[in-house]
Chains A and B, each alone.
Chain A
Amino acid sequence: MSDQTVLSDAKLLGRLQAGDEASFEALFLRHYNRIYTVLFVLLGSKADAEDMAQQVFLKLYHAPERIRIEGDETNVAGWLYRVALNEAYNALRSQKRRAAWQEQFTRLWPFGSASPPDPAQLVESQDTQARVRRILLELKPRQARLLLLRHTGLSYAELAAVLDIAPGSVGSLLTRAERAFREKYRRAFPEESE
């Protein structure tokens, strides 16, 4: 595996597209932790984040040709981030709708505990993490993604590539997003902000 670890993403992708399993392993080990971290921040559950990270890498595994190789600039990480963010946001959206529906069902269900819905799931967790996550998700999706990726360690160039924005505008977009976040957070939890 040692030769794999020094190869660029583009080289590994090329080999993967040719059917080389070991290249997939190298790409996985290289990018898994960052993708997992982003998903964990959004989903807040180890199991969910691991499952979804697997989904993301399975997409790469089954269809590596979806990423175009452009010289050595091929952005495997950017593609993985984009897929991860889309999957996570879709999941969150349907989670929210499902929760709302389960709430309806819980109210209709007249048989107490022998019931299909689990009311405990419906009680919004009051722990700090959940509240912070809620504020993050209340931001405009583009701002939330920017904050999320920056604060999990992406460089300006990576941010620009993943989010498809001009590298020169990252600083000002970041400034605006952070202000919006701070303002929302302070408004929601004034007692904790001072």
Chain B
Amino acid sequence: MMRVDQGKLRAYLDGELSAAEREFVEKLLADSPEAQASLAQLDQTRDEVNQTLGLLLPTAEAASPAGWALKRLQARLNPDGQVGPALNKKSSPKQATAVWESPSLLAEIKANFKNFRYHWRQVMTRGFVLATIAGLMIVVTILALALWPDMAQRVAEPVQSVVPPETVNLPPTEEDIPTTIVVVALQPISRGAEFVPGSIGRHKWPARNLPSGYIANEAEAIGKVARTDIVQGQVIVQGMLVDPSRSDTPELPPAAIPLSAVFNYEIELIGYQLQQKTIDPKEGIELILYWRSLQAVAKDYTVFIHLADANRLILAQEDSPPVQGQSPTSRWQPDQVIEDRHHIPMPQNFPVGKYDLIVGLYNSATGERLSVQSENHLVQDNSILLTRVQMGEADSTTASTSGAILFQKDSGIYVINADGTNLTRLASGNNPTWSPDGQRIAFLATYNSKPEIYVMNADGANPTRLTYSSGVFLQPVWSPDGQRLAFVSGQNDVTDIYVINADGTNQVKLTDSSASNIDPRWSPDGQRLAFASYDGNQHNIYVMNANGTNLTKLTDSSAMSWRPIWSPDGQHIAFLARQGEIDNVYLMNADGANPTPLTDNPSSAKITSELVWSPDGQHLAFALEIDGQTSLYTVNADGTNQTRLTDNLNVGFDFAWSPDSQRLAFISYTENQAGLFLINADGTNLTRLADNAVGPFVEWSPHHSS
């Protein structure tokens, strides 16, 4: 009996056999019921698959007529509507904006720079007085005439498309030289007409490259960036200058806290120092203010210092000219720094508590306060909130021995003791993270609708903005010594890892790629940073020195790897890898050697969270989604004992271990069960600490509070 060749039968079925072959198969079919059954089966399979795959064919509305498609293609090949063959014609690159390539204009701006700086002050103080700005007008005219059509067109477009992708290379400079950018106002920008169309401001930018058409969030007024509340108006970069001679900020004593508040464009408050952390009401407050004169001041101003409660009721105050009248503002020299000591006496029986310390200047002749703008401190009623002070000893009964948990709720940052006491709102913002000593909190807050990084004290006092950019910021992470923060910033799909000192100085971009770099993680010794990178094709984990050198790829590109986290001893890095469609937790040596899966998840499971290592290094926590339910799991660092801790709760993206590694805090999204929860590491004792908590971030204070 002849064997049935399935392939031949199939070809027969499809009418793909030659006449001789067909005859042969038909003969076979006539003799063999087996072959007939085979054929019927093949027919059925073919139809079934054909029907199923037929679902993927374009429907009538998805049809793409070839004639139309050809027209579109031709339009693309000949954008000018040119007729005739365009074969082998290379498309010409789009004309770049001319400003940057115009050496004469740049020379012009440079030549006018010294004058320009002077005139700029005049403009800011007295308004747009034509007679005083001959030098300035040259630049204005050139820019306005040469570039107006281009600029006007950009302004009309939505913000997103205003920023073209091309970047502009500055003249070569040394690293870290302050760069001044000339900005041109295209429409009136807030506060009367201080910025009129065509007027020029300056903007400090730390990097050497900047997209042309960049919209500055702040226009630099005098010396420092003055906030201009640019909501209605836009400032567009049209030129750029490098000014290596300009010193950045004047030296302050180490104990002083720097800030920047510009009064009437004449005087800047550049720092303050409080002699005592906790104020004894009997002794009053000893405060030093550091002023800097930005230009010659005609009038004598008076300093006022208020101590106000939460309702802004003034409970104590002091008004005096600077340095008890020995250094009137009219005698200050431009750029001079004045140390100004004040003593604020307290009334008797001053109630213990937290109070706001508020500072401002006024004209003693008129009683009118000077307008103040500050980039990093809260301004209200033309005064600046310097800090929040503790009057008398803090009430110790509220302190908890089990630490405190930071989380998000109602678009605010909250802290709650782990025993459930003392729920307190600290600030508006997101992504809070404790400094390693538990004394400060870094977080994100929006400024001009862009997230920026801030640092505040653990009690919410003294929020200080660290970053300035047109990009977005994510994931601030403290260095183990609490001196620096790593963070992610970028636009769209391109993000880079940066570090910045916790006082906002020395922002450095560590990665420089067209990739998406996220998840910066400090090694426990603070020497290195691991991060995850996606270059549009591969997901890998890299490590580099904390200064960006010695970049090394740790993972094998065959899998998608992300979310690195160092073991507390710094010997290993755990990470998440998706191989095929399966998510697992992996562990590798810190040099990338010996990657080993710690979990053995089913293919339907997805890890939907951070990996969080317990402080004792014994366990990793993560969330695993199986069949629509996201549960909290732990696994030992050696891969044993994978345990599900939660039932019937959908857990969020981030968790926090208690400092003793005995408990975990997490956010639940489950309907009717949403909130901040605690659970023992063995899955017992589930407790809800707060409701209405939202994700994604949860942080447990790194040290027990005293």
User: Does residue A71 face the partner (Cβ distance < 8 Å to B)?
Assistant: no
Interface residues of A in 24-50 (CB under 8 A from B): 25, 28-29, 32-33, 36-37, 40-41, 44, 46, 49-50
Contact B57 A155 (CB under 8 A): no
Residues in B neighbouring A179, C-beta threshold 8 A: 45
User: Does residue B14 face the partner (Cβ distance < 8 Å to A)?
Assistant: yes
Residues in B neighbouring A156, C-beta threshold 8 A: 11, 14, 16
Binds A, one of B85-93, B151-159, B377-385, B396-404: B85-93
Residues in A neighbouring B449, C-beta threshold 8 A: 114
Contact B72 A37 (CB under 8 A): no
Docked complex Cα distance between A114 and B431 (Å): 15
User: Does residue A8 face the partner (Cβ distance < 8 Å to B)?
Assistant: no
Contact A172 B7 (CB under 8 A): yes
Docked complex Cα distance between A155 and B14 (Å): 9
Interface residues of A in 1-59 (CB under 8 A from B): 19-21, 25, 28-29, 32-33, 36-37, 40-41, 44, 46, 49-50, 53-54, 57-58
User: Does residue A133 face the partner (Cβ distance < 8 Å to B)?
Assistant: yes
Contact A97 B430 (CB under 8 A): no
CB-nearest residue of chain B to A128: B55
Contact B14 A132 (CB under 8 A): no
Docked complex Cα distance between A148 and B446 (Å): 50
Contact indicator per residue, chain B 76-92, by CB within 8 Å of chain A (1) or not (0): 11000000111110000
Residues in A neighbouring B46, C-beta threshold 8 A: 178
Contact A29 B66 (CB under 8 A): yes
User: Does residue A86 face the partner (Cβ distance < 8 Å to B)?
Assistant: no
CB-nearest residue of chain A to B516: A101
User: Does residue A190 face the partner (Cβ distance < 8 Å to B)?
Assistant: no
Contact A108 B696 (CB under 8 A): yes
Residues in A neighbouring B204, C-beta threshold 8 A: none
Contact B49 A171 (CB under 8 A): no
Task: Say whether, besides A97-B534, A155-B16, A175 and B578 are in contact (CB < 8 Å).
Answer: no
* Most chain A CB neighbours (cut-off 10 Å) among B7, B431, B516, B532: B7
Contact B87 A172 (CB under 8 A): no
Shortest B13–chain A CB gap in Å is 8
Contact indicator per residue, chain B 595-621, by CB within 8 Å of chain A (1) or not (0): 000000000000011000000000000
CB-nearest residue of chain A to B11: A171
Contact A110 B534 (CB under 8 A): no
Task: Say whether, besides A25-B70, A29-B70, A57-B73, A136 and B56 are in contact (CB < 8 Å).
Answer: yes
Residues in A neighbouring B608, C-beta threshold 8 A: 107
Contact A41 B56 (CB under 8 A): yes
Contact A94 B536 (CB under 8 A): yes
User: A110 touches which one: B48, B67, B430 (CB < 8 A)?
Assistant: B430
Residues in A neighbouring B11, C-beta threshold 8 A: 156, 170-171
CB-nearest residue of chain B to A55: B73
Contact A110 B539 (CB under 8 A): no
User: Does residue B9 face the partner (Cβ distance < 8 Å to A)?
Assistant: yes
CB-nearest residue of chain A to B84: A21
User: Does residue B10 face the partner (Cβ distance < 8 Å to A)?
Assistant: yes
Residues in A neighbouring B66, C-beta threshold 8 A: 28-29, 32-33, 36
Contact B56 A175 (CB under 8 A): no
Residues in A neighbouring B408, C-beta threshold 8 A: 110
Docked complex Cα distance between A114 and B70 (Å): 38
User: Does residue A89 face the partner (Cβ distance < 8 Å to B)?
Assistant: no
Docked complex Cα distance between A164 and B697 (Å): 53
Docked complex Cα distance between A175 and B12 (Å): 12
User: Does residue B586 face the partner (Cβ distance < 8 Å to A)?
Assistant: no
User: B653 touches which one: A25, A58, A107 (CB < 8 A)?
Assistant: A107
Contact indicator per residue, chain B 428-451, by CB within 8 Å of chain A (1) or not (0): 001100000000000010100101
CB-nearest residue of chain A to B609: A107
User: B64 touches which one: A50, A116, A181 (CB < 8 A)?
Assistant: A50
Residues in A neighbouring B446, C-beta threshold 8 A: 111
Residues in A neighbouring B14, C-beta threshold 8 A: 156, 171
Contact B42 A175 (CB under 8 A): yes
Docked complex Cα distance between A104 and B532 (Å): 11
Contact B539 A100 (CB under 8 A): yes
User: B7 touches which one: A151, A175, A185 (CB < 8 A)?
Assistant: A175
Shortest B355–chain A CB gap in Å is 31
Contact B73 A182 (CB under 8 A): no
Size bracket of the A interface: 35 or more
Residues in A neighbouring B72, C-beta threshold 8 A: 50, 54
Contact B57 A40 (CB under 8 A): yes
CB-nearest residue of chain A to B16: A156
Contact A97 B53 (CB under 8 A): no
Residues in A neighbouring B451, C-beta threshold 8 A: 110-111
Main secondary structure of the interface of B (DSSP, over half): mixed
User: Does residue A98 face the partner (Cβ distance < 8 Å to B)?
Assistant: yes
Residues in B neighbouring A94, C-beta threshold 8 A: 536-537
CB-nearest residue of chain A to B44: A182
User: Does residue B52 face the partner (Cβ distance < 8 Å to A)?
Assistant: yes
User: Does residue B456 face the partner (Cβ distance < 8 Å to A)?
Assistant: no
Docked complex Cα distance between A106 and B446 (Å): 18
Residues in A neighbouring B538, C-beta threshold 8 A: 97
Docked complex Cα distance between A144 and B444 (Å): 47
Interface size on B, residues (CB 8 A): 66
User: Does residue A61 face the partner (Cβ distance < 8 Å to B)?
Assistant: yes
Interface residues of B in 533-561 (CB under 8 A from A): 534, 536-539, 560
User: B10 touches which one: A36, A41, A54, A174 (CB < 8 A)?
Assistant: A174
User: A104 touches which one: B9, B10, B62, B562 (CB < 8 A)?
Assistant: B562
Task: Say whether, besides A28-B70, A46-B64, A97 and B56 are in contact (CB < 8 Å).
Answer: no
Contact A19 B53 (CB under 8 A): no
User: Does residue B472 face the partner (Cβ distance < 8 Å to A)?
Assistant: yes
User: A182 touches which one: B6, B48, B430, B492 (CB < 8 A)?
Assistant: B48
Shortest B530–chain A CB gap in Å is 15
Residues in A neighbouring B49, C-beta threshold 8 A: 147, 151, 178, 181-182
User: Does residue B50 face the partner (Cβ distance < 8 Å to A)?
Assistant: yes
Docked complex Cα distance between A185 and B430 (Å): 44
Contact A105 B518 (CB under 8 A): yes
Shortest B642–chain A CB gap in Å is 22
Task: Say whether, besides A40-B58, A116-B492, A175 and B85 are in contact (CB < 8 Å).
Answer: no
Residues in A neighbouring B8, C-beta threshold 8 A: 171
Residues in A neighbouring B69, C-beta threshold 8 A: 28, 32, 36, 50, 53-54
Interface residues of A in 154-181 (CB under 8 A from B): 155-156, 168-175, 178-179, 181
Contact A37 B57 (CB under 8 A): yes
Contact B475 A108 (CB under 8 A): yes
Residues in B neighbouring A53, C-beta threshold 8 A: 64, 69
Contact B55 A101 (CB under 8 A): no
Shortest B583–chain A CB gap in Å is 10
Shortest B575–chain A CB gap in Å is 12
Contact A171 B10 (CB under 8 A): yes
Shortest B693–chain A CB gap in Å is 13
Docked complex Cα distance between A41 and B518 (Å): 34
A54-B76, A136-B56 known; 7 new pairs, CB 8 Å cut-off, are: A36-B58, A53-B64, A54-B69, A104-B518, A108-B653, A156-B11, A171-B6
- Which 8 A-B pairs have CB atoms at the shortest separation, nearest pair first? A172-B7, A171-B7, A110-B430, A171-B11, A171-B10, A32-B66, A21-B85, A41-B56
5 contacts between A and B (CB under 8 A): A19-B85, A107-B609, A129-B55, A152-B57, A171-B10
Q: Which residues on B are within 8 Å of A, measured CB to CB?
A: 5-11, 14, 16, 42, 45-46, 48-50, 52-58, 62, 64, 66-67, 69-70, 72-73, 76-77, 84-88, 408, 430-431, 444, 446, 449, 451, 472, 474-475, 492, 516, 518, 532, 534, 536-539, 560, 562-563, 578, 608-609, 653, 695-697
Q: Which residues on A are within 8 Å of B, measured CB to CB?
A: 19-21, 25, 28-29, 32-33, 36-37, 40-41, 44, 46, 49-50, 53-54, 57-58, 61-62, 94, 97-98, 100-101, 104-105, 107-111, 114, 116, 128-129, 132-133, 136, 147-148, 151-152, 155-156, 168-175, 178-179, 181-182, 185
